[in-house]
Amino acid sequence: MKYGYARVSTTDQKLANQIEVLKLAGAEKIFQEKFTGTTTERPEFQKLLRVLKTGDTLIVTKLDRFARNTREALAIIQELFKENVKVNILNMGLIDNTPTGQLVFTIFSAFAQFERDMIVTRTQEGKLYAKQHDPLFREGRPKRILMNKSDLLMSCENKA
């Protein structure tokens, strides 16, 4: 059986694209959830891991959908390999239980974690710089001003 796993980090993001790609790759059943990858609280992923058995294939679109960091990725892949489950990470290819397959997976996992860590570092540096140099800097999304239709119409009429 081929199982897919789709995950997005926020409730605002859409799963549709990942699901479509997983179906095209042959996934027969797809587990999906909206959870940040920085947490181990991924109930659907845990369910999926319990369902997988010898001869099955786990398909994910990208490595960062699979695990939070290199250590977790390696631990998961080792458990799957013990059960003779194949892992197909679509932007990397099929990971097999050979020394070469494990080496390639380890290297890609390390680079994925490095990339994530660099993004976090650059974001923190940017925020620090902005706090020090911009007195109007505020963290987070700007507050939205919501208008009802009648206020919006009056505003438009006043401008005309």
User: Is 150 assigned a catalytic role?
Assistant: no
What are φ and ψ of residue 40, in 5° steps? -85, -5
Residue pair 60/90 in contact by the 8 Å Cβ criterion: yes
**Which phi and psi angles does 13 have, rounded to 5°?**
-80, 155
Catalytically annotated residue among 9, 109, 150, 155: 9
In sequence order, the β-bridge partners of residue 89 are: 60, 93
CB–CB of 4/19 below 8 Å? Answer: yes
> b/e map of 31-65 (b: 16 or more CB within 10 Å)?
bbbebebeeeebebbeebbeebeeebbbbbbebbb
Could you tell me the two tokens for 45? 């992923």
Instruction: Name the nearest CA neighbour of 60 among 34, 21, 28, 98.
Output: 21
Q: Which residues are catalytic?
A: 9
